[in-house]
């Protein structure tokens, strides 16, 4: 039997498991496959950001340069012991003491920065590790993944991951990559595995690789040379199962649905995806093998998915559709409620986060009705759209059913910009939804971005005024500025949106998913970035210094909300207590 190992590599926040591994593990186990799952991201954070690991690095690598920027012995003696204590605090009830929490996070941030020194000029922070290479270029990635001097993942894999793997070597390694912050770490791992154990089959999947697979229509991805043997395009259940069966039967991969692979002549093939497995036939996610007690939180949050793809799907800036089969599908809410009850009992958890691109108000209603019938005190969060179906009665019902936290994509409050985005929302309805969720006791978070092509400064100001007028019912926000994604509908029709020029290098790069551009009118990318920075500073004037402006991790907000409640979240202010960094 083929032994499969599914891996989630760094770099991601170590606050909860990522759903792809437990979802695929459950499916493959149901099909009789031998599969293990490995949250290598958690292992990286937990082992590297520790007294022992950092001490070894600081005392053995780049020591002369390290001594030039800090008093090395004093840091080792006085600071490093605080690092393990800070992680212990996050896993304890002290997590909910805001000042202790912020202090622990500051210690850990400093520890990430210390990690930069032995690997200079790489820049490490809690959000990402940036190597001195352009990660969208094949040539640069080839150098980055072999650069022992600046790549901290090489050191981690050499000292921890490879020796661990050798104890129980798999036949197939599936590496799941959700975002660009994992690209170098994932490819470095693949390259080391390929060099050390050439017989292993290495496949990549996840949202980011679905986009790279989509680009294969134009030209083959050079990653086949150095990093992997195949890639999964879109949903992983059938491709992975087909790949396992093909490896067992030693057949070629021509009949594996959704697989991108290279034959013996070097020809790259992209197989048709086949029909996805109906969501009602999938088992609930299986978290066996993941160390739920080691995430940097006091109790686990389990990720769930009630639907795949998006029922709206029209937003011109959005490329999420690439990761899914082309049809919106649901898991019956009653079945989802059963999953939640089962998982709550099996793992002793009370908190769930739905990662659906957008979970509909109707789904939330039906789920709540099923959960209320179970009489269990489960808390959950969702992402959704600002639509009128979040009426007072629905909001009341879903609050009773355990929905604590809804994240909405407001994006803009200017009617022309909303229409151009094809967002399908209405600022007046948005206000009603905020009011209804607020009245029902549900905490909300809104995503906003500035600089959609042709958006003028005056139009962006409309969004600022909207937030100002509604800040008592808009509880928390995250803002950014527009990126032109290669696979979003706007890219194909960019002339219609006033885009006059796209950066040629970004177009040519094999590993780029967004491109720099210029427009005839509206805010430029630089102006949008500056507008965003000014907006973040303005939020401090408007809201003071609530938790979400100190730490806007969804996981942090959800845990605090479940523990302290909505009123605390709205009223607690760090002003005068700590020097607060405004998060974006
Ligand atoms: S932005 Fe959200 S609502 Fe719009 S298409 Fe994408 S997933 Fe759907």
Q: What SS3 string covers 477-524?
A: EEEEECCEECCCHHHHCHHHHCEEEECHHHHHCCCCCEECEEECCCCC
Burial pattern 150-164, b for ≥16 Cβ within 10 A else e, equals bbbbbbbbeebbeee
202 and 110 in one domain? no
Tally of domains within the chain: 3
3-class SS string, 366-411: HHHHHHHHHCCCCEEEEEECCCCCCCHHHHHHHHHCCEEEEEEEEE
Task: Tell me, using a 6 A CB cutoff, whether residue 313 lines ligand 1.
Answer: yes
pLDDT tens profile 183-220: 999 999 999 999 999 999 999 999 888 888 766 656 66
Task: Tell me, using a 6 A CB cutoff, whether residue 385 lines ligand 1.
Answer: yes
Report the candidate in 357, 399, 360 with the shortest Cα–Cα distance to residue 380. Answer: 399
For residue 326, the model assigns a pLDDT of: 78
C-alpha of residue 488 to centroid of ligand 1, in Å: 11
422 and 537 in one domain? yes
For residue 148, the model assigns a pLDDT of: 96
Count the neighbouring beta carbons within 10 Å of the beta carbon of residue 187.
25
For residue 577, the model assigns a pLDDT of: 82
Residue 584: band (very low, low, confident or very high) from pLDDT cuts 50, 70, 90: very low
222 versus 100: the higher-pLDDT residue is: 100
225 and 212 in one domain? yes
8 A C-beta contact, residue 439 and residue 395: yes
169 and 80 in one domain? no
522 and 373 in one domain? yes
Q: Quick check: is 563 in a domain?
A: yes
215 and 197 in one domain? yes
Distance CA 239, CA 255 (A): 10
Name the residue of 306, 307, 309, 312 whose CB sits within 8 Å of the most ligand 1 atoms, as the mutation to test its pocket: 312
159 and 13 in one domain? yes
For residue 576, the model assigns a pLDDT of: 83
Residue 150 has pLDDT above 90, yes or no: yes
pLDDT tens profile 546-566: 999 999 999 999 999 999 999
92 and 26 in one domain? no
Residue 254 has pLDDT above 50, yes or no: yes
Task: Tell me, using a 6 A CB cutoff, whether residue 489 lines ligand 1.
Answer: no
Residue 312 CA, closest ligand 1 atom number:
8
Q: Quick check: is 235 in a domain?
A: yes
CATH of the domain at 332: 3.80.30.20
Domain final position from 64, 98, 130: 130
Question: Containing domain of residue 258, as a range?
Answer: 3-41+151-262
Q: Quick check: is 288 in a domain?
A: no
Distance CA 524, CA 543 (A): 28
As given in the structure block, the two tokens for residue 131 are 């190597």
347 and 245 in one domain? no
Report the candidate in 242, 255, 185 with the shortest Cα–Cα distance to residue 44. Answer: 185
ipTM of the complex: 0.99
Q: Quick check: is 292 in a domain?
A: no
Report the candidate in 513, 448, 485, 478 with the shortest Cα–Cα distance to residue 182. Answer: 513
Lowest mean pLDDT segment, chosen from 317-331, 336-350, 531-545: 317-331
Residue 502 has pLDDT above 50, yes or no: yes
Q: Quick check: is 258 in a domain?
A: yes
Q: Quick check: is 107 in a domain?
A: yes
pLDDT tens profile 54-93: 999 999 998 888 888 899 999 999 999 999 999 999 999 9
pLDDT tens profile 3-47: 999 999 999 999 999 999 999 999 999 999 999 999 999 999 999
Residue 582 has pLDDT above 70, yes or no: no
């Amino acid at each position: 039997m083929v032994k499969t190992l599914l891996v989630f590599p760094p770099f991601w926040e170590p606050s909860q498991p990522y759903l792809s591994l437990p979802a695929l593990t459950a499916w493959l186990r149901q099909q009789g496959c031998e599969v293990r799952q490995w949250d290598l991201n958690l292992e990286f954070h937990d082992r590297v950001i520790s007294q022992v690991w950092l001490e070894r690095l600081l005392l053995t690598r780049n020591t002369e340069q390290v001594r030039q920027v800090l008093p090395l012995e004093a840091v080792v003696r006085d600071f490093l012991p605080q690092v393990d204590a800070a992680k212990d605090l996050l896993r304890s009830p002290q997590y909910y003491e805001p000042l202790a929490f912020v202090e622990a996070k500051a210690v850990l941030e400093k520890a990430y920065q210390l990690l930069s020194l032995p690997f200079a000029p790489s820049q490490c922070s809690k959000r990402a590790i940036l190597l001195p290479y352009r990660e969208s270029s094949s040539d640069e990635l080839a150098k980055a993944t072999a650069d022992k001097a600046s790549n901290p993942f090489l050191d981690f894999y050499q000292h921890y991951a490879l020796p661990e793997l050798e104890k129980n070597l798999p036949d197939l390694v599936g590496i799941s990559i959700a975002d660009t912050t994992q690209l170098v770490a994932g490819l470095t791992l693949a390259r080391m595995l390929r060099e050390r154990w050439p017989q292993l089959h290495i496949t990549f999947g996840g949202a980011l690789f679905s986009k790279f697979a989509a680009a294969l229509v134009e030209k083959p991805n050079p990653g086949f040379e150095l990093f992997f043997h195949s890639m999964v395009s879109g949903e992983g259940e059938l491709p992975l199962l087909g790949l396992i069966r093909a490896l067992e039967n030693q057949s070629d991969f021509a009949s594996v649905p959704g697989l991108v692979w290279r034959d013996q002549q070097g020809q790259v093939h992209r197989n048709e995806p086949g029909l996805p497995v109906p969501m009602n036939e999938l088992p609930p996610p299986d978290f066996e093998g993941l160390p739920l007690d080691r995430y940097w939180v006091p109790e686990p949050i389990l990720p769930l998915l009630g639907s795949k793809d998006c029922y709206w799907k029209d937003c011109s800036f959005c490329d999420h559709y690439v990761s899914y089969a082309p049809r919106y599908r649901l898991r019956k809410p009653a079945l989802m409620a059963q999953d939640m009850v089962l998982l709550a009992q099996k793992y002793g958890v009370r908190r769930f986060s739905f990662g659906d691109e957008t979970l509909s108000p109707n789904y939330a209603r039906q789920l709540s009705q099923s959960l209320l019938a179970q009489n269990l005190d489960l808390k959950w969060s969702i992402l959704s759209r600002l639509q009128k179906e979040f009426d007072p009665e629905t909001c009341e019902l879903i609050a009773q059913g355990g929905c604590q936290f809804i994240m909405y994509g407001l994006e803009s409050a200017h009617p022309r910009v909303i229409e151009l985005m094809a967002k399908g929302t209405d600022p007046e309805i948005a206000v009603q939804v905020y009011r209804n969720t607020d009245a029902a006791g549900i905490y909300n978070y809104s995503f906003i971005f500035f600089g959609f092509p042709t958006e003028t400064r005056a139009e962006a100001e409309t969004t600022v005024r909207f937030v100002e007028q509604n800040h008592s019912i808009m509880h928390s926000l995250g803002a950014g500025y527009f990126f032109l994604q290669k696979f979003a509908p706007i890219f194909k029709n960019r002339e219609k949106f006033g885009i006059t020029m796209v950066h040629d290098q970004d177009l040519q790069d094999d590993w780029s998913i967004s491109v720099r551009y210029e427009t005839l009118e509206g805010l430029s990318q630089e102006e949008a970035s500056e507008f965003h920075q000014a907006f973040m500073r303005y939020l401090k004037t408007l809201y003071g210094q609530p938790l979400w402006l100190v730490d806007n991790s969804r996981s942090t907000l959800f845990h605090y909300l479940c523990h302290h409640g909505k009123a605390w979240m709205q009223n607690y202010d760090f002003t005068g207590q700590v020097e607060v960094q405004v998060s974006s």
